[in-house]
Structure 1
Amino acid sequence: MEFFADYAGFLARTVTVLVAILVVLAAIAALRGRNRRVASGHLDVRKLNDFYKGLRERLEHSVLDKAQLKAVHKAEAKAAKQSKKAGKHKPRVFVLDFEGDIKASATDHLRHEVTALLSMATDKDEVVVRLESGGGMVHSYGLASSQLARIRDAGVPLTVCVDKVAASGGYMMACIGDKILAAPFSIIGSIGVVAQLPNVHRLLKKHDIDFEVLTAGEYKRTLTVFGENTDKGRQKFQEDLEATHELFKGFVGRYRSQLDMAEIATGEVWLGTAALEKKLVDELRTSDEYLAARAKEAELFHLHYAARKSLQERVGLAASVAIDRVLLSWWERLSQQRFWQ
C-alpha cells in the first residue's frame, strides 16, 4: 500500500510539472503569435510563362529527336535575340484567383493582391481574375466586388474568367470585368436575393415553452426563429429583400448596360452558351485556353497573398471549408438534376 501511495504521489507531481510546462509553452506561443500579427502574411509571385514553357519542353523532349530539338532551340534563340534587338517589351498580365464561399473569405487575400498590383499596373497591362463562386452574404460579396471595382476605376483592363460557376454574388463580381469569358457549361446568373430561416414557435408552444424578444425600434426584429412571426414582420422583411434586389440590379446595370434587366434579373441561372445569348458573358472560352494564348505574347504573373494563421484559425478554417464544400456539393447535385433530367 505504501508503494502505491508513493507511486500515486510521484505520478501526481509528474503530471503537475508537465501541465505547468505546457502552460508556459502555450503562453510563449501566444505571445509570439501576437508579435507576428504585425506582419501577418506575404505576397507570392509566380511567372506562369515558365510553367507553360516547362510543359512544352517536357513534351518536346519526349516527342522530338535531337536534331529537331536543336532546330527548335535555335529558332527560339533567334526570335528572342530579334525581340531584344528591336527593344520590344511584352505587356504584363497579372493573374488572380478567387474561390468564393458563403462569406467570401477569399476577399481577405484579394484586397492585398489588388493593392499590390495597382502599385505598378498601367492601362497597358491586364488583370485576369479566375473566379469561382455560387454567391453568399450580400455585404461580404459587396466588399469583394469593391476590390475588383478598384481595378476598373484605375483604368487597368480587367478580364474575368469563369470555368464553373459565377452566380448571385459571384456574378456581382464578374460583371465588373471589361470582358467576361465563360466555359460553355459554366453556371451564370442568379441575379436575385434569397433569405430563409426555420421557425419552431409552434413546437415550443406545444411544449409550453415561452420565448420572449425585447426590442427598441419597431423593426429591430422582423422575423425570428423562436418567436411568433407576424404578417407585418414578413412584409417588412420582404420589402428589405426587394430593396436589396434593386441595388443588385442597379449595380449590374452600371457595368453591363447591354443587359435586358427585366429578362435576366429573375434569380435564374443559365449555362454558358445561353448566358452568351443573353449577353451575360462576352465569349465562350476557358481560362486555360485564354491564358495559354496570352502567354505567347505577354508576361504572366500569378499573385497570391498568403496569410499566416494560428493553429486555431487553421482548424476553424478547415471546418468551415468542409461545411461549405458539403453545401456546394448538394447545390451542384440539385443543379445537375435540374439541367440533366
Structure 2
Amino acid sequence: MEFFADYAGFLARTVTVLVAILVVLVAIAALRGRNRRVASGHLDVRKLNDFYKGLRERLEHSVLDKAQLKAVRKAEAKAAKQTKKAGKHKPRVFVLDFDGDIKASATDHLRHEVTALLSMATDKDEVVVRLESGGGMVHSYGLASSQLARIRDAGVPLTVCVDKVAASGGYMMACIGDKILAAPFSIIGSIGVVAQLPNVHRLLKKHDIDFEVLTAGEYKRTLTVFGENTDKGRQKFQEDLEATHELFKGFVGRYRSQLDMAEIATGEVWLGTAALEKKLVDELRTSDEYLAARAKDAELFHLHYAARKSLQERVGLAASVAIDRVLLSWWERLSQQRFWQ
C-alpha cells in the first residue's frame, strides 16, 4: 500500500508538471500567433523550367548512351553560352492556379498572387491561370473575376487554361483571358443563374406550427424556407435572377464580343470541341502541353500564396477534405453506371 501511495504521488506530480508545461507552450504559441497577424502568409515562387528540365534529363539518362548524352549536354552548353553572349533575356511567364469551390475560397490567395506579379510584370510578360471551377456564389466569383481583370487592365497578356471545367462563375473568370485554352473534353459554359431552396410551410401547417417572418421593406424577404411563399414574392425573386443574368451576359460580352449571346447564354454547357465551334474558347490544348512548349523559350515562375493557418483551422480543413473525398468517392460509385453503361 505504501508503494502504491508513493506511485500515486509521483504520478500526480508528473501530471502537474506536464500540465504546467502545456499551459506555458499554449501561452507562447498564442503570443507568437498574435505577433504574426500582420504577416499572415508568404508567397512561394518555384521555377517550372527546372521541373521540366528534370523530367527531360531523367529520361535522357535512361534512354541515351554516354556518347549521345555528352553530345546533348555540349549542345545545351553552347546554346546557353550564345544566348548569354547575345545579351538576350527570355520572356517571363507567371503561372497561377485557381481551384474554385462554391464560395470561390481560392480568391483569398489569388488576390495576393496578382498583387505580387503586377508589381513587376510588363506587357512583354505573360500570366497563365490554370482554372478549374464549376461556379458558385455570384458575389464570390464577381470578386475572383475582378482579380483577373486587374491583370487584363494592366496590359499584361493573360492566358486561361481549362483542363476540366470552367462553368458559370468559372467561365465568368475564364472569359477575361486574352486567350482561352481548353482540353477537348473539358466542360465549358453554363452562362446562367440558378437559385433553389426547400419550403416546409405545408408540413408545419399540417402539425399546427406557426412561423412568422417580420420585415421592414416590401421585398426584404421574397422566398422563405418556413413561411408561406406568394406569387408576388416568386415574381420578384425571378426578376432578381433575370437581372443578375443580364449582368452576367453583359460581363461576358465585354470580354468576348465575338460570342452570339442569344445562342450561348442559355445555361447550357458544352465539351471543349463544341465550345471551340461556338467561340467560347480559342484553342484546344491542355495546360501541360502549353506550358511545356513555353518552357522552351521563356522563364516560367509558379506563384502560390500560402496563408498561415491555426491548429484549429488545419484540423478543420483536414476533416473537411476527408469528408469531401468520401462523398466524392460515393458519388463516383453511384454515378459510374449512368455514365459508363
- The normalised TM-score by structure 1 is 0.91
Matches of 2:268 and 2:118, distance apart in 1: 35
The unaligned stretches of length 5 or more in structure 1 are: none
- Deviation of residue 213 (structure 1)? 1.5
SS of residue matched to 2:89: coil
Comparing 40-49 and 198-207, the one that deviates more: 198-207
% identity of equivalent residues: 99
- Deviation of residue 56 (structure 1)? 0.5
Matches of 1:313 and 1:87, distance apart in 2: 49
- Deviation of residue 32 (structure 1)? 2.2
Aligned to 1:33: 33
Matches of 1:178 and 1:265, distance apart in 2: 20
SS of residue matched to 2:97: strand
Comparing 171-180 and 214-223, the one that deviates more: 214-223
- Deviation of residue 8 (structure 1)? 9.3
SS of residue matched to 2:129: strand
Q: 1:154 to 1:260 in 2, by over 3 A?
A: same
Comparing 14-23 and 27-36, the one that deviates more: 14-23
Matches of 1:193 and 1:203, distance apart in 2: 29
Matches of 2:189 and 2:176, distance apart in 1: 14
* Superimposed CA distance per residue, residues 126-179 of structure 1 (whole angstroms, 9 cap, x where no aligned partner): 000000000011101000000000000000000000000000000000000000
* Superimposed CA distance per residue, residues 228-287 of structure 1 (whole angstroms, 9 cap, x where no aligned partner): 111111111111111111100000000000000000000000000000000000000000
Matches of 2:146 and 2:227, distance apart in 1: 37
Matches of 1:63 and 1:333, distance apart in 2: 40
- Deviation of residue 217 (structure 1)? 1.1
Q: 1:2 to 1:204 in 2, by over 3 A?
A: farther
Please say if residues 188 and 271 of structure 1, whose CA atoms lie closer than 8 Å, have aligned partners that are also in contact.
yes
Matches of 1:85 and 1:13, distance apart in 2: 73
- Deviation of residue 33 (structure 1)? 1.6
Comparing 137-146 and 16-25, the one that deviates more: 16-25
Q: 1:120 to 1:102 in 2, by over 3 A?
A: same
- Deviation of residue 214 (structure 1)? 1.4
SS of residue matched to 2:45: strand
* Superimposed CA distance per residue, residues 158-202 of structure 1 (whole angstroms, 9 cap, x where no aligned partner): 000000000000000000000000000000000001111111111
Matches of 1:339 and 1:327, distance apart in 2: 18
- Deviation of residue 5 (structure 1)? 11
Matches of 1:340 and 1:52, distance apart in 2: 35
- Deviation of residue 76 (structure 1)? 0.7
Comparing 97-106 and 20-29, the one that deviates more: 20-29
RMSD: 2.7
Q: 1:80 to 1:16 in 2, by over 3 A?
A: closer
Please say if residues 211 and 227 of structure 1, whose CA atoms lie closer than 8 Å, have aligned partners that are also in contact.
yes
The unaligned stretches of length 5 or more in structure 2 are: none
Q: 1:24 to 1:78 in 2, by over 3 A?
A: closer
- Deviation of residue 298 (structure 1)? 0.5
Matches of 1:268 and 1:328, distance apart in 2: 23
Matches of 1:200 and 1:12, distance apart in 2: 56
Q: 1:274 to 1:323 in 2, by over 3 A?
A: farther
- Deviation of residue 304 (structure 1)? 0.5
